[in-house]
């Protein structure tokens, strides 16, 4: 996890976090707690709190832009695992929360 992420959390409070249902623990190889998700189609779910505005993922703890953590970090979805600090999407989320852009990390 990027050091920026520990003080940011903007992505968790800006975008819908959706993914294939089999990533939930309702599937034998899934990890994301199904109880924290919301169905959005027959095959996809999203993290509760990201399906509406204002967006705030149920797993996000702390204050965006100050100090945050994910209470299911080790179990998080591929959507979260593939999100990169400093990416265009990251900086869009940061702008929504009036945080300065950051450089992409390698």
What is the domain partition of the chain in residue ranges? 3-96
Q: What angle do CA 41, 45, 49 make, to 5 degrees?
A: 120
Cα Rg of the chain (Å, integer):
13
- Distance separating alpha carbons of residues 104 and 97, to the nearest angstrom: 18
pLDDT at 3: 80
Give the global pTM: 0.93
Q: Are 24 and 45 in contact (CB under 8 A)?
A: yes
pLDDT at 105: 76
**In which residue ranges of the chain is pLDDT below 50?**
none
pLDDT at 72: 97
């Amino acid at each position: 996890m990027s050091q920026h992420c520990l003080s940011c959390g903007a992505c968790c409070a800006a975008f819908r976090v959706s993914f294939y249902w089999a990533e939930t623990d309702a599937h034998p190889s899934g990890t994301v707690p199904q109880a924290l998700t919301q169905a959005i189609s027959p095959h996809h779910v999203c993290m509760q709190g990201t399906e509406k505005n204002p967006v705030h993922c149920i797993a996000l703890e702390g204050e965006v832009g100050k100090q945050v953590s994910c209470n299911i970090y080790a179990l998080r979805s591929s959507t979260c695992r593939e999100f990169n600090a400093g990416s265009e999407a990251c900086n869009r989320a940061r702008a929504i929360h009036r945080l300065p852009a950051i450089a992409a990390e390698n």
